[in-house]
């Protein structure tokens, strides 16, 4: 018997952002006003010293009663109203002060969906639809104020001026759903798939007995979502369409339908629960069809002409008349090769021999998948139960066993075998697609292009992966911001047409004793790092303005760069702060920024 569960996350976009926010600091405690002390209480029963008896008639005089407090709270905006617990209602369960926030995965705390502080403004997410911005998601406080998805952002801002508006990120929401599906495949059921933009499908056929039944499985799923601070609802039915409809339009957090009762349960639900198109919904509204039960007694031929064949198919899928397959998500398995040794080994020669055997098995797996390894992780289990790990990386995808073996040879001395190694595992933790390589120039004995990937890998194995890099360009006019470290074999683009020094200093260094003719002439003499340089030739200036959008100090900032050559033939790249005319552009100080050659 087929059983399918639909997990619905109605506030996925909002709660994903709430999880990323840092917890706000606790409010400062308010100072308590000291109670007045009456030295002559008279006939009152108040003890001397200000200690009063709770519930005394005199203590209740002049204080607002429960109705006045409730009226004052109701007059506040919806997102600033206190909770029932703060109003003194004892019917709401309180969270245990010592057990809250324990065993929360993914660096989260709490046991349910996150509730922001009452002072936080309502949050909505805006999506660009044509020339308008519409609300794509809203928090519960915004929904309580009448801000619904599909409303224009301008109208929402007019209704609630203190609204917190952020752009929608459907790609990030989809990535979170993919992570949940992968978790479901690895821990709950082998068949799981994404259901729209706010839910997932779980095929529970033959797996619920492993969790103690459907009730316990649903409770476990809801508890897991609660630890992630995600509001969730689960529905279990015999068809994916029925489970999808009940999860979104049902009344309870956990909904269950027995097999064969889909028509009776789905009859009172609206037609939108069948996932039919908006045009079909509009056509059904014109004919007075509002509920699923309105479609059941109608003849199928006229109904198909009015609503379309796709709507009839959705109805049949929900009722189980037509099968609706779930396309499962298949998690990508990392290629792994494992060897369990008959006897422990401890010499470098034996370890390298086993590494060669592991590489042969791993390369065969990579070739079958059309992949090349970028990062390899070698795990060694010692006799004493401890584990050692050794990793290598390549600048380009490779499945050359000899080349990878040479990279491991450069680091084999870092392995401490201890009393002996009994198990070795080699995994390609990072891989990329790798196709065939053209060998035409090499076979024709022509001038082929030299492959630097092998040399770069060997140098990185000796000096470290961070020792080799190339310089890439960034869109910026300020020279120290226009470069960035890139991968050794990267091909940076976007270099400026004008000349730049080979060696650019990390930070400009000040020059002293500068002799220059203002405003447009290079310096004739300057001192740098204790040496005096006499300039014999110069070129410039090249004027660079500050990036005013970064900080206020660069609004009027100007640099005039010069290329100069001294008596010894050394060429420098230096600049003067300011244009030499307006004092607001700089203080006319000189700096060394780079060297040519």
Q: Return the CATH number at 396.
A: 3.30.1490.100
pLDDT at 106 > cutoff 50: no
Q: Is the dihedral of CA 284, 288, 289, 290 positive or negative?
A: positive
pLDDT for the residue 466? 77
Query: In terms of residue numbers, what domain contains 427?
Result: 336-433
Residues 418 and 508 in one domain: no
Residues 267 and 359 in one domain: no
Tokens 């429960």 locate to 66
- Average pLDDT rounded to a whole number, residues 128-150: 89
- Average pLDDT rounded to a whole number, residues 177-182: 91
Q: What is the pLDDT of residues 462-473, one digit of tens each?
A: 777 777 888 788
- Average pLDDT rounded to a whole number, residues 475-495: 80
Residues 183 and 158 in one domain: no
Residues 561 and 526 in one domain: yes
End-of-domain residue from the set 162, 188, 212: 162
Residues 191 and 216 in one domain: yes
Residues 213 and 295 in one domain: yes
User: How does the average pLDDT of the chain come out, rounded?
Assistant: 82
Residues 204 and 158 in one domain: no
| pTM of model > 0.75 | no
Three-class SS of 52-116: CCCCCHHHHCCCCCHHHHHHHHHCCCHHHCCCCCCCCCCCCCCCCCCCCCCCCCCCCCCCCCCCC
Distance in Å from the first CA to the final CA of the chain = 78
Residues 532 and 570 in one domain: yes
Residues 178 and 314 in one domain: yes
- pLDDT confidence band for 105 (50 / 70 / 90): very low
Residues 395 and 376 in one domain: yes
Domain assignment present for 96:
no
End-of-domain residue from the set 162, 184, 216: 162
pLDDT for the residue 221? 93
The three-state secondary structure class of 353 is helix
Q: Is the dihedral of CA 136, 137, 142, 144 positive or negative?
A: positive
Query: In 263-311, where do the E strands start and end?
Result: none
| CB distance 432 to 371 below 8 Å | yes
- pLDDT confidence band for 64 (50 / 70 / 90): low
pLDDT for the residue 592? 94
Domain assignment present for 81:
no
For the sheet containing 199-203, what is the strand order? 192-194, 199-203, 4-8, 233-237, 254-256
Domain assignment present for 23:
no
Domain assignment present for 101:
no
| CB distance 168 to 136 below 8 Å | yes
Number of domains in the chain: 4
Kind of pairing, strands 233-237 and 336-345?
unpaired
User: 171 or 114, which is more confident?
Assistant: 171
Domain assignment present for 326:
no
Domain assignment present for 524:
yes
DSSP character string of 229-246: T---EEEEESSHHHHHHH
Q: What angle in degrees, to the nearest 10, is found between the helix axes of 453-463 and 401-409?
A: 20
pLDDT at 26 > cutoff 50: no
End-of-domain residue from the set 162, 184, 218: 162
pLDDT at 536 > cutoff 90: yes
Give one word for 292, left, alpha or beta, with left for phi > 0 and alpha for psi -120 to 50.
alpha
Both tokens of 47, joined, read 């003890």
pLDDT for the residue 93? 47
Residues 154 and 188 in one domain: no
Both tokens of 7, joined, read 């997990």
Residues 274 and 176 in one domain: yes
pLDDT at 116 > cutoff 90: no
Phi, psi for residue 26 in degrees, rounded to 5: -65, 140
pLDDT at 49 > cutoff 60: no
Q: What is the pLDDT of residues 329-345, one digit of tens each?
A: 877 788 999 999 999 99
Domain assignment present for 514:
yes
pLDDT cut 90: percent of the chain above it: 35
- Average pLDDT rounded to a whole number, residues 269-280: 90
pLDDT for the residue 444? 57
User: 51 or 140, which is more confident?
Assistant: 140
Domain assignment present for 365:
yes
């Amino acid at each position: 018997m087929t059983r399918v569960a639909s997990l619905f996350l109605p506030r996925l976009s909002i709660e994903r952002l709430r999880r990323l926010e840092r917890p706000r600091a606790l409010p400062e405690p308010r100072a308590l006003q000291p109670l007045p002390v009456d030295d002559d209480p008279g006939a009152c029963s108040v003890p001397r010293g200000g200690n009063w008896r709770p519930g005394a008639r005199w203590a209740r005089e002049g204080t607002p009663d429960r109705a006045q407090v409730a009226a004052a709270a109701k007059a506040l905006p919806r997102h600033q109203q206190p909770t029932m617990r703060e109003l003194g209602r004892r019917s709401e369960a309180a969270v245990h002060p010592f057990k809250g926030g324990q065993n929360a995965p993914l660096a989260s705390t709490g046991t349910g969906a996150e509730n922001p502080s009452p002072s936080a403004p309502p949050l909505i997410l805006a999506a660009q639809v044509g020339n308008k911005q519409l609300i794509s998601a809203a928090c519960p406080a915004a929904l309580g104020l009448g801000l619904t998805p599909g409303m224009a952002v301008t109208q929402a801002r007019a209704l609630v001026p203190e609204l917190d508006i952020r752009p929608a990120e459907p790609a990030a929401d989809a990535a979170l759903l993919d992570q949940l599906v992968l978790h479901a495949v690895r821990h709950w059921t082998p068949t799981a798939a994404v259901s729209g933009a706010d839910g997932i499908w779980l095929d529970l056929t033959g797996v619920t007995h492993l969790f103690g039944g459907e009730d316990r499985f649903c409770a476990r799923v809801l508890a897991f979502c609660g630890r992630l601070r995600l509001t969730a609802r689960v529905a279990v039915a015999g068809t994916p369409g029925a489970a999808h409809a009940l999860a979104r339009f049902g009344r309870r957090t956990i909904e269950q339908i027995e097999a064969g009762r889909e028509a009776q349960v789905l009859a009172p639900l609206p037609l939108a629960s069948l996932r039919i198109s908006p045009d079909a919904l509009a056509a059904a509204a014109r004919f007075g069809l509002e509920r699923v039960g309105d479609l059941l007694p109608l003849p199928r031929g006229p109904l198909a002409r009015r609503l379309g064949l796709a709507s009839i198919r959705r109805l049949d899928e929900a009722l189980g008349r037509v099968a609706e397959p779930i396309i499962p998500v298949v998690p990508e398995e990392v290629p792994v090769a494992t060897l369990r040794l008959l006897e422990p080994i401890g010499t470098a020669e034996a370890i390298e021999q086993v590494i060669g055997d592991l590489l042969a098995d791993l390369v065969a797996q990579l070739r079958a998948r059309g992949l090349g390894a970028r990062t390899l992780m070698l795990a060694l289990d010692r006799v004493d139960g401890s584990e050692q790990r050794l990793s290598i990386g390549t600048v380009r995808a490779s499945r050359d066993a000899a080349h990878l073996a040479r990279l491991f040879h450069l680091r084999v001395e870092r392995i401490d075998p201890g009393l002996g190694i009994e198990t070795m595992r080699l995994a390609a933790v990072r891989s990329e697609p790798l196709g065939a390589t053209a060998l035409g120039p090499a076979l024709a004995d022509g001038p082929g292009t030299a492959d630097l990937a092998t040399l770069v890998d060997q140098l990185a194995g000796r000096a470290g992966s961070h020792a080799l890099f190339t310089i890439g360009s960034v869109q910026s006019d300020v020279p120290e911001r226009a470069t960035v470290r890139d991968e050794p074999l990267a091909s940076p683009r976007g270099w400026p047409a004008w000349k730049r020094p080979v060696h650019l200093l990390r930070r400009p260094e000040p020059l002293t004793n500068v002799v220059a003719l203002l405003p447009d002439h290079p310096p004739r003499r300057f001192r740098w790092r204790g040496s005096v340089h006499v300039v014999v030739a110069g070129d410039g200036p090249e004027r660079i303005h500050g990036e005013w959008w970064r900080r206020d100090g660069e609004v009027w900032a100007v640099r005039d760069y010069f290329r100069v050559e001294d008596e010894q033939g050394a060429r420098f790249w230096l600049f003067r702060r300011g244009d030499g005319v307006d004092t607001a552009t700089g203080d006319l100080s000189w700096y060394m920024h780079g060297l040519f050659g």
